[in-house]
Chains A and B, each alone.
Chain A
Amino acid sequence: METVLKKAKLSRNDIDYVMATGYGRRNFDPANGELSELSCHAKGVLFTNPQVRTIIDIGGQDAKVLRINDKGILENFMMNDKCAAGTGRFLDVMANILQMPVNELEKRAELAEKPAKISSTCTVFAESEVISQLATGETVENVIAGICNSVASRVAGLAKRVGIKEEVFMSGGVAQNGGVRKALEKELKVPIKWSETSQMMGALGAAISAYEQVKKRGVLNE
C-alpha cells in the first residue's frame, strides 16, 4: 500500500475509506471494509459498461460468471469447482511447459492451422497431453490454440449454467489473451467485449464501493 500511495503522491490520511477485495481481503489490516471480488467486478464493469449483462471473469486461480439484471444488480453467479482447469493458472502451467511467457500465447495461437485437442478436465492430465502432442510432432502453435480452446470450453460450460445474456464482457487477467477470448466467442456464439483494463475491474469496483460508503457516511475528505 505504501508503494501505491508513494506513486500516487498521496498519504494514508488522504484516503477516506479503503475497501479490500480478493482472496486476501480479510488479512489486509489497513482496510476499512471488505467486499467479495465478484461484487467488485460487477461494480467495476457496470461503471465502465452499463449495458453489460453477463461478466466472465477468469483470474489467476479461478473463473466466475456473473449475470446482471436490467436494473444493474447482480442476480446470479457461478464459480469454478475446485480445479485449476479453465483458469489463468492453467495457462501459466502450459506456458511454463512451452517455455514462453504467458502473454506470448495469444500471438502464437493466431498462427495455428488446426488446433490440437487438449483436455479441459484436469490441468495435470492436460499437462501430460501437451507433452505427448509435442512429442508426436504437433506444432507449438496448434497446441497453444488447443490450450486456449480448452480454457474456453471449460468456462463456456460454467457460463451456460448461469445463462448468457448480452452484452457479455470479459474481466480478469485472462481477458488479455485473445486466443481464449476468440475461442469463447466461438463456444458461446456471442461477441465478447473487453478492455485493456479488464484486469483492474475488481479494483475499480472496490474503489466505487469505498466511495459509496464514504458518501453514505456523508463526510468526504476534500
Chain B
Amino acid sequence: MSGLKESLQKFHKIASSPKEQLKNYLAQDKKVVICAPVYTPEEIVHAMGMVPMGTWGADIEIKEAKTYFPAFICSVMQSVLELGIRGEFEGASAIIIPSLCDSLKCLGENWKSSVKNIPFIPMVYPQNRKADFGKAFTKAGYERVIADLEKATGQSFDDAKLTESIAIYNEHNAIMRQLSDCLNDYPEITAVDRNAIFQSAFYMEKSEHTALVKDLISELTKTEKTANNKIKIVTTGILVDAEDLLKILDDNDMQIVADNVASESRQYHVDAKPAETALDSLSCKFADMDNCSVLFNVDKAIAQYTVGLVSKYQANGVIFVMTKFCDPEEFDYVMIKKACAEKNIPLLLVEIDRQMTNYEQVRTAVETFKEILK
C-alpha cells in the first residue's frame, strides 16, 4: 500500500469511529470532555489536561431525542442528543454546549433532563463580540466554563498551560489551512477523503492530528501532480459530511477547492493572538472570528467572503449545503445568493439533514448543476 493511501486510511478510520477514539483515550486514563458545535473553547479543556472531543452528531435514525425536541428542528442537535441518550459518549466527564443558536440552547436544556450521567456545561457567548464589553462577556463565559469543568472533573486551570494549548491549536489551524490549499493540486483526493481529514480533527488531540496532517502533506508532495480536469467548487454551510452527498460530488468530477463550512474551514480561520493573559487571548480570538451564520455581523460579510473564495480559488461555482431547519443559514443564504448573482457565479442550493436515507434528489440537482457549469 502506498504511503499516501495508508495516510488517508488513518483519517478515514478515525473519522468513522469516534466511539473507538473515546474508548482509547479513556483506556489511557485520560478524561474526555465532549464539545458540541459550533465554536467551543477546546483550548481550555486541553489546558486542563483533558481531551476535548468534538461532536456534530451522526447520520442516524432519531428516536429517543424526539421525546425532547419538536420535529422541525436542526437534526444535528437532535442527533447529538440521540447519541447522548444512547450512551455513545459513555465515560465522558462533561459536555460543553455553546449558545450560538436557538437550537443549541434547547440542546443544553434537554441534555440536563435526558443524559444525567454527563454534566452539561453551558458556554454563553455574546451577540456583540467585538467591542470590549463583548470580549469581557466572552471571558466571563470562559471563566464559568472553567469553574464548571473544575467542579465536574476535579482538574484545575492554569493560564500558563492555556498559553501552551493555544500554541498547539494555532499550529493545528495553520496546518489545516495549508492542507486545504495543498489538496487543490491533487484532484485524486476525493471529497470523501477531504471530509475524513477534517472530521477526524474533532476526535483527536490536536497535536496528534497535526502530526497526521503533516505526514499527509509530505506524502502528497512526493506524489506527481496530474492534470486537473475537475469542476472546481466552493462549499458553504454548517455541515457537509454526509458520505452519500460527497460521493455524488465525486461521481460528478467535482473538487472542493475551498469551503466556508462551519465543521470544516470555519474552525481554522482565526488564530488566538498574544494578549495580557491567555484567557484574554482566547476571548479576542472569538471576537476576531467572522464569516459564519451563527456569528452576528451587521454587514453580512459572509456573502462577500464567499464570492472572494470563488475568485481566489478560481472556482466554477458554489454549492450551498443547507442543513434543514437551520435558521441562521437560511438568513445568510439570501445574502450569498444575491452576492453570487451579482458576480454571475452559479450557485446550487441543496438541503440535507441527519436522517436522509435517499440522496437522489440531490444527485439530480448536482448533475443539472454540472450541466450548467459545463
A74-B371, A75-B372, A82-B324 given as contacts; is B351 within 8 A of A37 (CB)? no
B16 at interface, CB cutoff 8 A: no
A197 at interface, CB cutoff 8 A: no
Q: Mark B336-374, 1 if CB is under 8 A from A, else 0.
A: 000000000010010101000000110111011001100
Main secondary structure of the interface of A (DSSP, over half): mixed
Task: Give the Cβ gap from B29 to chain A, nearest Cβ, in Å.
Answer: 45
- Taking residues whose C-beta sits less than 8 angstroms from the other chain, chain B's interface range is 10 to 19
Per the bound structure, the CA–CA distance linking A39 and B372 in Å amounts to 9
Per the bound structure, the CA–CA distance linking A79 and B346 in Å amounts to 15
Decide if A79 touches B372 in the complex (CB within 8 Å). Answer: no
Decide if B351 touches A36 in the complex (CB within 8 Å). Answer: no
A11 at interface, CB cutoff 8 A: no
In chain A, positions 28-71 with a C-beta closer than 8 Å to chain B are 35-39, 62
Decide if B368 touches A39 in the complex (CB within 8 Å). Answer: yes
Decide if B324 touches A38 in the complex (CB within 8 Å). Answer: no
Decide if A79 touches B364 in the complex (CB within 8 Å). Answer: yes
A211 at interface, CB cutoff 8 A: no
Per the bound structure, the CA–CA distance linking A78 and B351 in Å amounts to 11
Task: Give the Cβ gap from B193 to chain A, nearest Cβ, in Å.
Answer: 23
A96 at interface, CB cutoff 8 A: no
Decide if A39 touches B371 in the complex (CB within 8 Å). Answer: yes
Closest residue of chain A to B367 (Cβ to Cβ) is A36
Closest residue of chain B to A78 (Cβ to Cβ) is B349
Per the bound structure, the CA–CA distance linking A145 and B361 in Å amounts to 29
Closest residue of chain B to A122 (Cβ to Cβ) is B72
Q: Mark A64-90, 1 if CB is under 8 A from B, else 0.
A: 000000000111111101100000000
Per the bound structure, the CA–CA distance linking A23 and B365 in Å amounts to 11
A23-B360, A62-B361 given as contacts; is B368 within 8 A of A82 (CB)? no
Decide if A38 touches B351 in the complex (CB within 8 Å). Answer: no
Per the bound structure, the CA–CA distance linking A147 and B332 in Å amounts to 32
Decide if B372 touches A23 in the complex (CB within 8 Å). Answer: no
Task: Give the Cβ gap from B338 to chain A, nearest Cβ, in Å.
Answer: 11
Per the bound structure, the CA–CA distance linking A26 and B349 in Å amounts to 22
Decide if B372 touches A81 in the complex (CB within 8 Å). Answer: no
Closest residue of chain A to B362 (Cβ to Cβ) is A79
B364 in complex: contacting residue of A23, A74, A75, CB < 8 Å: A23
A23-B360, A38-B364, A82-B361 given as contacts; is B349 within 8 A of A76 (CB)? no
Per the bound structure, the CA–CA distance linking A19 and B347 in Å amounts to 27
Decide if A38 touches B360 in the complex (CB within 8 Å). Answer: no
B interface residue numbers (CB < 8 A to A): 324, 346, 349, 351, 353, 360-361, 363-365, 367-368, 371-372
List the 5 shortest-distance A-B pairs measured between CB atoms, nearest first.
Answer: A38-B368, A36-B367, A36-B368, A36-B364, A39-B371
